[in-house]
Every structure is written in structure tokens, then in C-alpha cells.
Chain A
Amino acid sequence: MIAELGLAALWLAASLALLQLALVWFGLVGDKADLLAGVRPVAVAQAGLCAIAFLALIALFLRSDMSVALVAANSHSAKPWLYKFAGTWGNHEGSMLLWVTVMGLAGAGVALLERALRRDTHMATLGAQAAISLGFYAFLLFSSNPFARLAAAPEDGQGLNPLLQDPGLAFHPPTLYLGYVGLSVAFSFAVGALMTRNVDAAFARAMRPWVLGAWVLLTIGITAGSYWAYYELGWGGWWFWDPVENASLMPWLAATALLHSVTVLATRDALRAWTVMLAVVAFSMSMVGTFLVRSGILTSVHAFAVDPERGTFILALLLVYIGGALALFGFRVGTVREGAQFELVSRETMLVLNNLLLSVVLGVVLIGTLYPLMTEAFGHKVSVGPPYFDAVAGPIALGLMLVMIAGPVTRWRHDALRAVGGRLLVPTLVGLAALSALAVLAWGRIGVLPFLGLVIAAATAVGSLTPLGKRNLRRTPLFTYGMVIAHLGCAVSIAGMASDSAFTVEKLAAMRVGDRVSAAGWTVSLDQIGPIAGDNWTAMQADVSAARDGGTPVLLHPQSRFFTTPPTATNESAILTRWNGQLYVVLGEPTQDGRWQMRIWWKPFVTLIWLGGGLIALGGLLSLIGRERRGWMKRLRKAAA
């Protein structure tokens, strides 16, 4: 009954999306205000119906209704309730339903919250949003129905991939999806603006909160995903330049560029065509990412929901939406007048440089990820991995950091080179100090890239704070704090990456109970090893005590876990966090002579990577609140009155 209700709600929502598109089209073409008046209520009703469908699916998973094919294939009655709940979107159909639900809610948000945009542009945006939703409804209803029933219900389900049974990962994909949907809204705004020939500062201001929100969510999603890979895969690495990881990085890179160019457009009415282009590219990167992950055309460690047929459907949607938008761009953007002018030495130029470098990194990641696919077409198999991406993206990222120091202290429109140089004095001195200190301490012992990374991170950390100097801190707007914190986060993150790459110590040991090994000032001993049982797994668990420089030992419990449904083995690493780094212990296989293979790492300041990611997201959030607070308050007051 619940499944049928959900399916009915989904069909109704799809029909409303069609209605919304028709209302916008005929309303705008015939200039009929009464048709356009219907768009808002339809958008809100569509969101409500999506929510009902999604709640229905959650209910089916929580009740372990095995007569529903999706639940039987992805759940198990013995699973803890959190994973039954998260299992709702831990599969292809459920995640697509989550996607359309969030898209519906975002559409209602655009319909209700946006007040400043010209009416025809606003309506065209809602029309574009409806058109995108329609494609995903079709995808769900015709090729991935989440509510399909089985002819005969099995006694129990097949379970969820154990790698996914982790609290962090339960919420990682939805965070990314929320970000993708935010970018789809930005895309709709761009299409609406092109359709109605209305690319200007007001359009940028309307689009900006969605871009910022999406960017914050993508940042959180990538940071959390990276930490998850770090502790769950048990290899001590936090980024592998794997196709699936790159697929999540590309929309983020595009969104970061868009975030900066939309600020130029909103503040200075410049970079009109480029901003529209970036909005299209950012959403196309989320679709490309989804396609790469779902179609399985590239080999990945993270491929969980692969199916070529779905790939075909996503590719069709990709071609229609992005191809259509790019064609519209070709036809219309010639009529977009060039925006405001600026001098060579100006914040605009700095932001153009930022956009250039981010776009180059994006291009490199895209080409590097797809290159094996291209050569495969010529019958030649190649691999493009970390050595390429590190060597190419690393230096460009460091250049980006330098622009990041200079940009915020350069004035809009026109500035004097000498004045900018003066404002950069302190970061330059800090950078030089860091350079000399590192040269004395570690020259020749660490790689060039980590070396430069540490130096530039020090300069950027100080440089990011420079915009606050000489300001009344109480009267500094919140969005300036947001920018400062986000830029500081970049410095912190780069410092963590460089430190991990330069100073990590790895120790492999085959240990008997009672053995001890030492590495990087730590003494690690294997005290005991034995079996332990969890909700739906059993494991070998080691009691490992670790002490630094003769201090009090701390007990760690790395596990080698075995899941029964489906049968899989995973390594649960044990991580000891200290202010200056993490001790990372993995229990491996037993050897023939009764010893256990252990991998031990000491990773100095590795936590800065994710701390920086958190700061970047926090900065974005503060920026969002700082920019939008006034508008929200006004609307709330109006609603209350």
C-alpha cells in the first residue's frame, strides 16, 4: 500500500512538472499573466508530492518490506535501523528519488524566496527547473522505479555493501546530491537569464545564494568522503585521484570558479557571458560525474551502483540539457552586452586569474580522468594516476594560492601596483621566513612540491587574514569574515597535505602477541588478539597499545571485519588523534607462523586537511548568511505581517 502511494505521488509530481513547464512556456510566449500566476503553486505542490514519495520509500526501508524489489536487494532485517534508514538512498533508485525530491524542494524554494529578479526571468528559471526535473522523473518512472514489487517476497534481503555501513558514508552521498541540485538551480537561472536576455547583476545576486549553498555542501561532501576513504579503506591515503573522486572534485572546481565570477558580476556587473558559461559547466560537471559513477565506464575502487543501461539514460539527459544550454549560449550570448570595464591591476583581474587557474585544473582533471577512455578507443590501454595529477594540479594549485593572497587586498576597478605590493609585505615576509626555516630543517629530505606547499601555506595563512587588518572588526561584514575563514581553510588544508606527503612515517611489521615495534617516537605493542561479534559482522580484533616517548600507553582496537550479507571482508583501522598528527594502525592478515601483519603510520598534522575543509565550508556558510540575512529577515517579516 505504501509503495503504491509513493508511486502515485511520483506520477502526480511528474505531471505537475509537465504542467509547470507548459504554464511557463505558454505564459511567456503569449504574455499571459494568469498562466504565470499558476506556476508558483504548482512548483510548491510538486515539492510536496516528491516529499511524500520519498517518505514512503523511507517507510518501506524502515519496515523492511521485502516485497519491494529495491528493499529486498539492498536491505536486510538484521541491519541496524540507521543503515536501514540510510539504505533508502544507498542505492541507485533511492538516490535518484532523493535527487528529484531535493530538486522539487529547491524549485519550491526558487518559486517562493526569489523576489528581486525580473518576473519573466524568474518564470523562465522555474520552467528550466521543471524541464530538468521532468528528465529525472522519466528516468525514475521508466527505468529505475524504486517502488516495484516482487512477485514473491523473499524471506530476507541481500544486505547493503558493508563498506557503506558507516555513519559517515550514510550521509556523504546525499550531501553531494544536495550540492549537485544546488548547481542545477544555478543552471536553471543561467538558462532563464539567456532565454529572457537578462544577464546582469540582479541575476547574479539571485543565483549567488544557490551557488554558495551548493558549494558549501560539495565542500562538506568531498571533505567527509576523503576522510571516509582515509579511515575505511585502510591504506592510509586520503585522496587517490580515482575516477569517482575526480567526478566529485570537478563540480566543486567549477562551482569554486563560479562562486568567484558570480561575485564579480553581482558587485561590478562584469564577466557576464563567462559567468553564464560557468553556471552551465558546473551543472554539466555534476551530470558528467553522475554518469561516470553510474555507468561504470571507468574502473574505480568506489564503484557501488554500476549499470550501463542507466548510463545510457543519464547520457541522454546530459546531451539534451547541457547540449541544449550550450546551443542556447551560442545563439544568445552574442546579444549579452559586455559588462563593466576594469583596469589591469584590479580585483577583477585577480578574480579572472582565479577563474583561469581553476578552469585549467578542472580541464586537467577532466582530461586526465577521461584519457584512458580516449586511448582505449584506439586500442591502447593506459593509466593516469596520482603521479600525473600531483605533478600538474599541484603547481597550479599553489599558483592559485598566490592569487588568493593578492586578490582580497586589491581594490575593485583600479589599484596601484605599488600599493598592492605594500599590502603584501607581511605575507611575503612570513613566506620568506618559512622558506628559510624549512630550508635549514628539511632541505633535500622532502620533495619540492610539499616544500613549496608548506612555504606557500604559511604565507597564505597570514595573507588570508590581511583583509581584516586596519578594519574595525566589529563593523566588518559577516561575508568578509566568511571569505577570510574560507581562504584560511585553504592554507590549513594545503599545509596538512604537504605535511602528510613530506613527513609521514610508515612501518610494516609481522607481530606476535607481546611484540613491540617503534616508529617515529611511538612504541606500539600487540597485547592481545581475539574474535568479536557485531550486529551483522564478526571480526578479529587486536588490542594494541601505543605510547609516545615513554608516555602513558593508549589502547587501540584495529579490526579485520567479516560481513555475512553479502560476504565481504573489510579492515577497520584504528586511529589515535593527537594535536600534532595521527597514529594509524591497520590489522592485516595472519602469517603462517602465527604472527599478524600490521601496518602502522605516523602522519604529522594530517588532520589539518579536513580541518581546512571544514573551515572552507564554514567560511562559505558565513558568507551565505552574511549576504542573505537581510533579505531573509525582510521576507520573514512580510510573511508574519
Chain B
Amino acid sequence: MDEAAAESGGMRRGFILWLPLVLFLGLGGLFLHGLLSPESRTIDSKMVGKPLPAFALPAAASNRPGLSTPDLTQGKPRLLNIFASWCVPCAAEAPQLMALRQAGARIDAIAIRDARGDVDRFLGRWGNPYQRIGLDARSAVQLALGSSGVPETFIIDGRGRIVHQHIGDIRAEDVPDILARLRAAQ
């Protein structure tokens, strides 16, 4: 009895002596994983799959109306582009937005922390692919959408549900994927 207790005690002690190595190897594995797949810096919106929050924004440009939630629940899927006239990547993605427009996509936009004159100048210079542009002067709608920067593009299905979020500027190679997703949202 005593011997058995001593034996199991010895076993336990033996296990505890190797525990640090086991924990350390786990740590090493974690570090290796961290190195191989670096932390992504993008914060995805958790609103994807959920209905759009309710909002009504005034017009951001002189020749386009403002934007509110009912405009995005008209039965047809639409792109909702989050941009700003002061944002350099937004100008860089302008040709891709024009291409999407030409391919038949309906695009609305929200201009973040912007002023009407600046937006007009921006659209005059880089082209205007948008049907409606709402002005979000204090990032309120951007925050409500779970968007973490400019530019970003959301795909909204016909019933006003967010089905996809594209973070960063749209590159030429992204255009077919976005068109496919837009069709799938029918």
C-alpha cells in the first residue's frame, strides 16, 4: 500500500518534471504558427449577414441625392462604397468602380467626414460611378456598419441585408469576384 502510494507519487513527480518542457513546446508551436500566418490587421465587420442599420444621410454632392436605408431595399442588390475625397486609395479605386458601373452594377456611396465642394471636385476629377451619395460627417453610419476605414465596399442584397464586405481599395483583379457576388445576391 505504502509502496504503491510512493510509486504513484514518483510517477506524478516524474510527470511534473516534464510538464515545463511540454508547456514550452506548446508555446513554441504557438509562436511558429504566429510566424507562419501573421496576424491580419483588418477588422472584419460583424454586420455581414445582418440587415443594414437604419440611417438617412443628406446629399454629399451637388448633382446626386442623399442616401437612406429604404434606397437600398429596392429588390435589386447594390454596392455600397464607403469613400472620402481626402483619401488617396479611394482615388486609386475609381477606375475599378467605373468598370463595375459599366458592367451593370448599381453603386451608392457614403462620403466620410467630407464637404460637398470637396466631393464635387473629387468626382469631377476621378469620375462619378454613384447613383446616390450620403454625407456621413461624423462617421456615425460608418461606425454603425462596422466599417473600419476608407475605402470599403459592402454588397447589399435586395432586401437590405449586408452579404459581403470588401476592405481596402478594389483592385482590377477584384472586379470579377465582386460582380459574381453581386449576381449571387440576387
Determine whether A and B are in direct contact in the complex, meaning some CB atoms lie less than 8 angstroms apart: yes
What is the bound-complex CA distance between A333 and B21, given in angstroms?
13
Known: A323-B25, A334-B14, A370-B30. A312 touches B35 (CB 8 A): yes
Contacts of A162 in B (CB 8 A): none
Shortest CB-to-CB span from A627 to chain B, Å, is 29
For window 7-44 of B, CB contacts with A under 8 Å fall at 13-14, 17-18, 20-21, 24-25, 27-28, 30-35, 37-39, 41, 43
Shortest CB-to-CB span from A477 to chain B, Å, is 35
Q: Within the complex, which residue of A288, A297, A330, A333 is in contact with B38, where a contact is CB–CB below 8 Å?
A: A297
Q: Within the complex, which residue of B31, B32, B39 is in contact with A376, where a contact is CB–CB below 8 Å?
A: B39
Determine whether the beta carbon of A329 is less than 8 Å from that of B28.
no
Known: A291-B31, A315-B31, A323-B25. A329 touches B20 (CB 8 A): yes
A267-295 toward B: CB 8 Å interface, digit per residue (1/0)? 00000010001001100100010010001
Chain B residue, CB-CB nearest to A312? B35
Contacts of A308 in B (CB 8 A): 35, 38
What is the bound-complex CA distance between A288 and B14, given in angstroms?
26
Q: Within the complex, which residue of A298, A315, A323 is in contact with B21, where a contact is CB–CB below 8 Å?
A: A323
Contacts of A318 in B (CB 8 A): 28, 31
What is the bound-complex CA distance between A341 and B25, given in angstroms?
33
What is the bound-complex CA distance between A333 and B15, given in angstroms?
12
For window 321-370 of A, CB contacts with B under 8 Å fall at 322-323, 326-327, 329-330, 333-334, 370
Determine whether the beta carbon of A299 is less than 8 Å from that of B17.
no
User: DSSP class of B's interface residues: helix, strand, loop or mixed?
Assistant: helix
Contacts of A323 in B (CB 8 A): 21, 24-25, 28
Contacts of B30 in A (CB 8 A): 370, 373-374, 377
Known: A323-B21, A327-B21, A330-B17. A297 touches B34 (CB 8 A): yes
Chain A residue, CB-CB nearest to B34? A297
Determine whether the beta carbon of A377 is less than 8 Å from that of B31.
no
Smallest CB-CB A-B distances: 7 pairs: A297-B34, A326-B21, A330-B18, A330-B17, A326-B20, A319-B28, A373-B34
Can you list 27 A-B pairs with a CB-CB distance of less than 8 A? A277-B20, A284-B24, A295-B31, A295-B34, A296-B38, A297-B35, A297-B38, A297-B39, A311-B35, A312-B35, A315-B32, A318-B28, A318-B31, A322-B24, A323-B21, A323-B24, A326-B21, A326-B24, A329-B17, A330-B21, A334-B14, A370-B27, A370-B30, A373-B30, A374-B30, A376-B34, A377-B37
Task: Show the binding face of A for B, using Cβ within 8 Å.
Answer: 273, 277, 280-281, 284, 288, 291, 295-299, 308, 311-312, 315, 318-319, 322-323, 326-327, 329-330, 333-334, 370, 372-374, 376-377, 381
